[in-house]
Amino acid sequence: MESKILFRASQVGRLMTDPKLNADKLAGKLGQTAKSYIEEIWLHNNFGYKEEVMTDEMIKGLICEQDSMELVQQVLGGGFRVKNRKNFKNDYLTGTPDIVLIDSIEDLKTSFTVKTFFNSELNSLYYWQGQVYMELTGKKHFRLIYCLVNTPEEIVLDLEKRVYYKFSCDEDNPHYKLWVEQIRKNHTFDNIPAKNRIKVFEFVYNPEDIEKMYRKIDKAREYYKSLTL
Amino acid sequence: MENNEEPIIIENSAIETIEATQRAEYDIQIATAKKYPRDLIKVKNNALAIITMDKQIAESCRYALPRDGKSISGPSVHLARILSQQYGNLRADSRVKQITNNQIISEAICFDLETNYAVKVEVRKSIVGKRGRYSDDMIVVTGNAANAIAFRNAVFSVIPKGLTDICYKKSMEMITGDLSDETKLIQARAKSIKYFIDTYACTENDILSVLGLKAITQIKSEHIADLRGLMQSLIDGDTTPEQTFKSLKPVLETKNIDKINDDKEKNRFIEFINNAQTLDELGMIEQQAIEYGLTEMIEDRKKLISSKNGK
């Protein structure tokens, strides 16, 4: 049913982006980012169109899920963290949190390098993701945890391979050797103590924000219904 | 102490004897060569007869290797062997001269006994890869490859280029077969590509990258010959599939991600069970651990904890 489209927790932040004009904002209109997101859903639902993007960062996030979980367990302790595989949904939202604990939800983000870890923060996208997870699971506490773990060998080799082509497949080139050495350095973090390799942002369930979100979803569904080719 | 002792002169007669024997051997070989000089027409005809005996032999006469985004090719060590056999009155030898920390140095000598012309060639090959110095086995393999290259270079420095070129050209014609029209070229192209994809699980892009081309349609008859040469180099071990086709490096297959994570999670469970000190701790994970088939392990741990507590 078109009017019953569900919004993914990880994307709700896009829906909540305000329009540029203050008048539009006050009128509760959808921003351009939100419209683009709804259009993507519409194109996918009606024509199967989807822009698949798979970056090294995303692959690392997927493959290092358990490494990050182990690191968090080691540093924060508490109940044994198991990857949650259950999908939660209601009439508006859907989502699969990384970890569901007795009293809280945790979502892990694996940083690609020490620089991305350094710059990591609680952005709007992750804030709304957390709110949606809490709404879906009924938990009142959310922890967004950035983790810095070594990049898997497969990804490092892939990065090296790209440089290899840049240097015309010459493994003896001293610049190539230096570059490769730097790649390894950028993706190995064993020298950083475990406690410094996690960054935690904690927040609680906000019913007002949730209410605001549902209103936005109603607008989004109206916009969805208005779309044509 | 008086220094009135007579100096002792050591005569190394053994060395002199060896040198004399070697000289005599060479003299005999040169004399024999002069007595039975080679017939160049016969050499050429015999070499061509061997080279064109079948397609496999012709293919072995050419090598092709990807270097610097292009394909380099030329007469192979097999052709050098065929030519040196047929040319006659030659002495050719190669050996590993030295192994340094990062290189293997091979030396080859080719001596034309008839003209008394000799060439010595040195070839260096790196024995350091991405993960440091090669293993002993790989150093032996690299040494053999360096010896083969040195041998080839030495032989081709002695045997006239004109003769080598004639034989090489003939082998090329034999390799590519009749590619006189577009249909035959397309068929040969498809066959070659299929061979590499089927045998080495590489991609079309890998093949294009090896040839330094951008599109399959750019593959012409000379490239077909390059690919055949590459086949030969891979079979001979002059190069490896991983060195040739970069996509063969152990890249991550996204379809394996779930399995990787499941394996890691199972290991975390095992570690947790082994370290659990109380039954409550085990109770926390019991339900999920069962999904990984760790029931027995949990029961054993429970018994151990209970027996400890009992004591």
Q: Name the residue among B3, B102, B86 with its Cα closest to residue B50.
A: B86
Instruction: Determine the average pLDDT of the residues in A35-43.
Output: 93
- Are B104 and B127 spatial neighbours (Cβ–Cβ below 8 Å)? yes
Identify the residue among B239, B261, B280 best suited for mutation to test binding to A, counting A beta carbons within 10 A and taking the highest.
B261
Which strand (E) or helix (H) includes residue A12?
A: helix A12-15
| A171 neighbourhood in chain B, CB within 8 Å | 126, 129-130
Chain B positions touching A168 (Cβ under 8 A) are 68-69
B68 and A66 within 8 Å at the Cβ level: the answer is: no
Distance of residue B69 Cα from the nearest chain A Cα, in angstroms: 6
Which sign, positive or negative, has the C-alpha torsion B176, B177, B180, B183? negative
Looking at residue A169, its pLDDT comes to 63
**Which amino acid does the sequence have at B302?**
K
Nearest to B268 among A70, A79, A155 (CB): A70
Smallest CA-to-CA distance from B186 within B198, B196, B194 is with B194
Q: What pLDDT does B1 receive?
A: 42
Q: What is the mean pLDDT of residues B93-118?
A: 91
Distance CA(A219)–CA(A213), nearest Å, equals 10
Mean pLDDT of B107-135: 86
Longest dimension (CA), chain B: 101
B273 → chain A, closest CA residue: A80
How far apart CA B152 and CA B135 sit, in angstroms, is 26
Percent share of chain B, pLDDT over 70: 87
What is the structure's pLDDT at B248? 62
Give percent of chain A with pLDDT exceeding 70.
Answer: 96
Q: What is the pLDDT of residue B19?
A: 78
* Residue bearing the bigger pLDDT, A113 or B241: A113
Does the structure show a pLDDT above 80 at B97? yes
**What is the arithmetic mean of pLDDT over A118-140?**
96
Q: In this predicted structure, which of A11-15, A178-182, B199-203 has the lowest mean pLDDT?
A: B199-203
Q: What does the pLDDT look like over A60-75, one tens digit per residue?
A: 999 899 999 999 999 9
Confidence of residue B6 (pLDDT cuts 50, 70, 90): low
Contact B129 A67 (CB under 8 A): no
Residues in A touching B252 (Cβ below 8 Å): 59, 63, 152, 154-155, 158
Model confidence at B120: pLDDT above 90 = yes
More confident residue, A141 or B291: A141
Interface test with A, best of B265, B292, B294 (most A CBs within 10 A): B265
Confidence class for position A1, pLDDT limits 50, 70, 90: very low
Q: Which residues contact B144 (CB under 8 A, 6 or more apart)?
A: B237
Opening angle at CA B93, ends B91 and B94, nearest 5: 160
| Domain boundary assignment for chain B | 40-255
Identify the helix (H) or strand (E) that includes residue B244: helix B241-244
| Distance, CA of A42 to CA of A3 (rounded, Å) | 11
β B103-112/A88-89 pair status: unpaired
Spatial contact of B37 and B89, defined as CB atoms under 8 Å apart = yes
Q: Model confidence at A193, in pLDDT bands (50, 70, 90)?
A: very high
How confident is the model at residue A65, as a pLDDT? Answer: 93
Q: Report the C-alpha gap between B237 and B118 in whole angstroms.
A: 29
DSSP B28: H
What is the average pLDDT across A25-45? 89
Six token digits for residue B172: 């090329």
Residues 6+ apart with CB under 8 A from B210: B66, B71, B230, B244, B245
Long-range contacts of A155-159 (CB under 8 A, 24+ apart): A155/A56, A155/A59, A155/A60, A155/A63, A155/A187, A155/B252, A156/A183, A156/A184, A156/A187, A157/B249, A157/B250, A157/B251, A158/A56, A158/B249, A158/B251, A158/B252, A159/A56, A159/A183, A159/A187
Give the mean model confidence (pLDDT) for residues B69-98: 88
pLDDT (tens digit per residue) in B212-265: 787 888 888 778 888 877 787 777 766 777 767 766 655 555 557 787 888 888
Q: pLDDT band at B151, cuts 50/70/90?
A: very high
Burial-class residue A210 by CB neighbours within 10 Å (0-12, 13-18, 19+).
Answer: middle
Name B178's bridge partners: none
Average pLDDT, chain B: 82
What is the model's pTM? Answer: 0.56
DSSP A112: S
Highest-pLDDT range among A8-17, B10-19, B168-177, B274-283? A8-17
Q: Which residues of chain A does B277 touch, with a Cβ-Cβ cutoff of 8 Å?
A: none
Whether pLDDT at B2 is above 60: no
- Does B311 have pLDDT greater than 70? no
Rounded to a whole number of angstroms, the CA Rg of chain B reads 32
Output the CA angle B96-B75-B156, nearest 5 degrees: 60
Within 13 Å of residue A65, how many CA atoms lie on the same side as its CB?
23
Q: Which of the pair, A2 or B104, is modelled with greater confidence?
A: B104
Full DSSP string of B124-186? EEE-EETTEEPPHHHHHHHHHHHHHHHHHHHHHHHS-HHHHHHHHHHHHHHHH----SHHHHH
Average pLDDT rounded to a whole number, residues A26-49: 90
Q: Is the pLDDT of residue A147 over 60?
A: yes
Share the mean pLDDT of chain A: 90
Q: pLDDT tier at B109 (50, 70, 90 boundaries)?
A: very high
Q: Give the mean pLDDT of A181-186.
A: 93
| Cα distances (Å, whole numbers) of residue B77 to A146, B98, B144, B145 | 57, 21, 12, 10
